[in-house]
Amino acid sequence: MANIAFGTDGKADFPTKYHGYVTLSSTKWAIICGKPERSFYQFNGEKIATTLIAPDQVRHHSKERTQLIYYKRFNSLQITVGVEAPCPQGVWYAVIIDTATGRICTVYPVPTPKPGKAFVPPKSK
């Protein structure tokens, strides 16, 4: 699918600001983008990389202890090839990662980040 380069193993690796590398499989990406109302996700794959490496916020998942939600605010979304939709109030991209498996669980846009406990990175020694 567009914007994400999957390797011959069907996986794409993404660096994160705080949690090393995480992977996304082409199968998982197809599931995420598979519903008609999510078809535009495939045109915004670069937002995953940007969100993970330069997040505006990182929060703990409210139910899953090993999962974190990386959030990044964007001013537009690409709806289809060559069609960009401005978001005057901004749109936040949420990328949920699992630190135990090193995988991306899901990706979705939200109007605002969900409340929850902020992730505080460990202090450097």
For 83-122, what is the HEC assignment?
EEEEEEEEEEEEEEEECCCCEEEEEEEECCCCCCCECCCC
pTM: 0.93
CB of 57 within 8 A of CB of 14? no
pLDDT at 125: 63
pLDDT at 75: 96
List the beta bridge partners of residue 82: none
CB of 50 within 8 A of CB of 82? no
Mean pLDDT, residues 5-12 taken together: 96
pLDDT of 1 > 50? The answer is: no
Q: CA–CA separation, 77 vs 25, rounded Å? A: 22
Mean pLDDT of the chain: 93
